[in-house]
A and B are shown apart, each in its own frame.
Chain A
Amino acid sequence: MDLKELVEIGEKQRNSAKKIRIHCCNAAGCISSNSSAVKDKLEIAVKEAGLQETVEVAKVGCMKFCGRGPLVQVEPAGTLYEQVKPEDAASIVAVLKGEEATAKTGNANHPFFTRQMPVVLENSGKINPEKIEEYIAAGGYQPLYRVIYEMSPNEVIDELSHSGLRGRGGAGYPTGLKWATVAKMSGEQKYVICNADEGDPGAFMDRAVLESDPHRVLEGMAIAAYAVGANSGYIYIRAEYPLAIDRLQKAIKQAKKLGILGSQIFDSPFDFKIDIRVGAGAFVCGEETALIASVEGKRGNPRPRPPYPAESGLWGCPTLINNVETFANIAPIVREGGDWYRSIGTEKSKGTKVFALTGKVKNTGLIEVPMGTTVRQIVEEMGGGVSNGGVVKAVQTGGPSGGCIPADALDTPVDYEHLRELGTIMGSGGIIVIDNNTNMVDVAKFYMEFCQQESCGKCVPCRAGTVQMYEILDKIYHKRANIADIDKLEALCHMVRDMSLCGLGQSAPNPVLSTLRYFREEYLELI
């Protein structure tokens, strides 16, 4: 396979496309509200209307407005239909013949869509994730080809460092620096791992990327492997994501068949194979050292760092580990250049970020916005404010490792630095809107219960400390505590944060510390 053949596959795919494409969401959110039946009915309706020559029905990935699924969009007109039932299919097709729509139309010009800036999700909801030809038709795998034939590993890393991309798995570590470290390590055998464990409650960004555009992640991993000198990669994904696993398997198979993965990629000397490892859904297995232990077939316990995986990772070899979304950014950066990527976002946080907007908000779903978009723009403009007419009390980010942004700080731009200042973190990208009917002690209690259950139990502060913190929170919530309990809780928070072995324990007190910082009176009211 050379570039010409690759381009030909894309052209053939584009030429075979019919004039009108009815996109029907086929990601987990919409499937759970019966979108598969919608698609079948749409196909039947097209046939019955005799429009097969000009109209095709395509199953595509996530169309973002998950709260109003199943979603259907008719291209190129862009007409959006929400909450489509199978019996609406005939009406949607009838519109193509000039009739009135009876199916519920949505507003594709709502800020929920217009404020988005798709980079990671550029193909999501547009291409069929199960057909490599559609990814290639959208320009896919050309960046990989270019990297292999036109760039040295160092040039790739320089471009990436220049782009300013930072890890999307939570900590925001500069991706270029990480790649450079692994590339510099000596050693025959190196590995690339994609972290698709996504265990934060309320987060579904990585799942959406994998279900909607799996080839993008494979391409990112292959470029990474070329840059750091690895020939083998693993995707560690939780068993709770069967559809994503299935699509990844199909994608790997298709790419191998075309010579885009496996040995001698694009007939070059570069080999790279990708295997999938399915995790049992423990939150702690998202921590990189625990994840590596799990891939090795051991108990998923974190271990002290250093040595970092870049130095000694999988089976003791230098290992690059990045998040799904981090890898999904690579192909566009190679294609458009680091300068272009740098131009998006804020001074220290470049590019876009995908968020899963959930909680007490009108418009729930998946959004991708430039770094620096304010929380207010996300929650009020895009999210449409609180559902049932309530008032925003706080916005939670970073899941069990994060904290709250109080309502009076909604104008904060979302980037790594500003969120840290507020005492929370970007995390992997869950944004949960909390309304004024929610008790903040209850919120803290919820996350502590989660951490207590997900603690691996290796180190004492986290294993025993989260249990005690939960107990005190429960006591406060049920009005059985006294003021000394709050002091005890705070002291314990500091100790667990400073003494725990891995990020789970170190950040488990965050939801408590954050709610104590902004909503202390709610604790005191319960005393």
Chain B
Amino acid sequence: MAVKTLKINDIYVAVEEGLTILKAAQEAGIYIPTLCHLEGVSDIGACRMCMVEVEGINKLLPACVTEVAEEMVVRTNTAKLKEYRRMNMELLFAEGNHVCSVCVVNGNCELQNLAVEVGMEHCRFSYRFPDKPVDISHPQFGIDHNRCILCTRCVRVCDEVEGAHVWDIAHRGEECKIISGLNQPWGEVDACTSCGKCVNACPTGSIFHKSTPVAVMKRDRGSLEFLSTAREKKQWTR
């Protein structure tokens, strides 16, 4: 096993070759905000929350998909990055309809936590108030597109872990929408095994257990990691 040594925020870190900057930071206990990243599924570098600065490279790089290199000097928390992340967060809140007070995951929401984390106190951009549907045709679960941030975690977990490929993205730009089956109501998609993996993957209150009251739903994120470790490493530990 080849090892690469790099410096993250002035801390020396030695990690296995081929790992991402994000993994290296996690090993060293350095926090990098993420949103589209989910343990157990492939990374796509879409949310751009994990962007970091690397000395000698004049662009920002997504930590979740950038491999470590020898003698790399990484900064995860510069003033510029903090400002950009806050702005990115504001863009997400302006884009959807995030009314936390009536949301099932209020208090347990990754998006909400991250907004607090990056210091977002208000949104400087104008709210779009898009007209988005809610689909509760599935017997156990529902999806509220008002809260969807298009991270595609549900798409990847259903495709890569469950192997059912129920979800997909339709349209483009701000019209993008997560669709089930061939753009059918979720309840009519035969491929869905009702395994609940997408429910556990969703970072917001978008995909939810039906009949959960406001602010009580918690997701079992560990279950996905458990599954992938069990499959890949044959270790059944949680």
Contact A495 B94 (CB under 8 A): no
Other-chain contact of A498, B44, B84, B91, B128 (Cβ < 8 Å): B84
Which of A303, A454, A458 has its CB near the most chain B CB atoms (within 10 A)?
Answer: A458
**One of A165-173, A216-224, A464-472 contacting the partner:** A464-472
Contact A282 B48 (CB under 8 A): no
Question: Within 8 Å CB of B128, what residues of A?
Answer: 467
Contact A456 B46 (CB under 8 A): no
A459 at the interface (CB under 8 A from B): yes
B65 at the interface (CB under 8 A from A): yes
**One of B133-141, B173-181, B211-219 contacting the partner:** B173-181
Question: Within 8 Å CB of B62, what residues of A?
Answer: 304, 501
Closest to A464 in B: B91
Contact A457 B84 (CB under 8 A): no
Closest to B92 in A: A460
How far is B195's CA from A128's CA once the two chains are assembled, in angstroms?
A: 62
Which of B125, B171, B175 has its CB near the most chain A CB atoms (within 10 A)?
Answer: B125
B121 to chain A, nearest CB (A): 16
Contact B150 A463 (CB under 8 A): yes
Other-chain contact of B47, A460, A471, A498 (Cβ < 8 Å): A460
B238 at the interface (CB under 8 A from A): no
B120 at the interface (CB under 8 A from A): no
Q: A454-B173, A456-B172, A457-B173 are in contact. Are A501 and B46 (CB under 8 A)?
A: yes
Question: Within 8 Å CB of A501, what residues of B?
Answer: 45-46, 48, 62
Question: Within 8 Å CB of B234, what residues of A?
Answer: none
Other-chain contact of B92, A452, A464, A499 (Cβ < 8 Å): A464
Closest to B47 in A: A460
Contact B126 A468 (CB under 8 A): yes
Question: Within 8 Å CB of A495, what residues of B?
Answer: 83-84, 87-88
Question: Within 8 Å CB of B30, what residues of A?
Answer: none
Other-chain contact of A500, B48, B174, B175 (Cβ < 8 Å): B48
Contact B47 A468 (CB under 8 A): no
Question: Within 8 Å CB of A500, what residues of B?
Answer: 48
B158 to chain A, nearest CB (A): 16
A453 at the interface (CB under 8 A from B): yes
A173 to chain B, nearest CB (A): 16
A492 at the interface (CB under 8 A from B): yes
Contact B59 A457 (CB under 8 A): no
Question: Contact mask A272-287 → B, CB, 8 Å, 1/0?
Answer: 0000000000101000
A299 at the interface (CB under 8 A from B): yes
User: Which residues 443-494 in A have Cβ within 8 Å of B in the complex?
Assistant: 452-461, 463-468, 471, 488, 491-492
Question: Within 8 Å CB of B65, what residues of A?
Answer: 304
Question: Contact mask A251-285 → B, CB, 8 Å, 1/0?
Answer: 00000000000000000000000000000001010
How far is B174's CA from A144's CA once the two chains are assembled, in angstroms?
A: 47
Question: Contact mask B118-130 → A, CB, 8 Å, 1/0?
Answer: 0000001110100
Q: A467-B95, A468-B125 are in contact. Are A282 and B172 (CB under 8 A)?
A: yes
B21 to chain A, nearest CB (A): 13
Q: A468-B125, A492-B87 are in contact. Are A460 and B172 (CB under 8 A)?
A: no
Question: Contact mask B159-176 → A, CB, 8 Å, 1/0?
Answer: 000000000110111111
Question: Within 8 Å CB of A466, what residues of B?
Answer: 173
B149 to chain A, nearest CB (A): 8
Question: Within 8 Å CB of A465, what residues of B?
Answer: 91
Contact B174 A464 (CB under 8 A): yes
Closest to B67 in A: A306
Question: Within 8 Å CB of B46, what residues of A?
Answer: 458-460, 501
How far is B172's CA from A284's CA once the two chains are assembled, in angstroms?
A: 10
Other-chain contact of B176, A284, A457, A461, A498 (Cβ < 8 Å): A457
Contact B47 A459 (CB under 8 A): yes
Contact B88 A456 (CB under 8 A): no
Q: A304-B65, A467-B95, A495-B84 are in contact. Are A461 and B169 (CB under 8 A)?
A: no
Contact A304 B87 (CB under 8 A): no
Question: Within 8 Å CB of A454, what residues of B?
Answer: 172-173
Closest to A451 in B: B173
B60 at the interface (CB under 8 A from A): yes
Question: Within 8 Å CB of B44, what residues of A?
Answer: 303-304, 458
User: Which residues 271-326 in A have Cβ within 8 Å of B in the complex?
Assistant: 282, 284, 299, 303-304
Question: Within 8 Å CB of A282, what residues of B?
Answer: 172
Contact B172 A461 (CB under 8 A): no
B111 to chain A, nearest CB (A): 11
Other-chain contact of B172, A457, A468, A488 (Cβ < 8 Å): A457
Known contacts A455-B172, A458-B44; 13 additional CB pairs below 8 A are A457-B169, A457-B173, A457-B175, A460-B92, A460-B149, A467-B174, A468-B91, A468-B125, A488-B125, A495-B87, A498-B84, A499-B51, A501-B48
4 nearest A-B residue pairs (beta carbon) = A457-B176, A464-B91, A304-B45, A455-B173
Chain A interfacial positions (CB closer than 8 Å to B) = 282, 284, 299, 303-304, 452-461, 463-468, 471, 488, 491-492, 495, 498-501
21 contacts between A and B (CB under 8 A): A282-B172, A284-B172, A299-B168, A299-B169, A304-B62, A455-B173, A456-B172, A460-B88, A463-B95, A463-B174, A464-B91, A464-B95, A467-B95, A467-B173, A468-B126, A488-B124, A492-B87, A495-B83, A495-B84, A499-B60, A501-B45
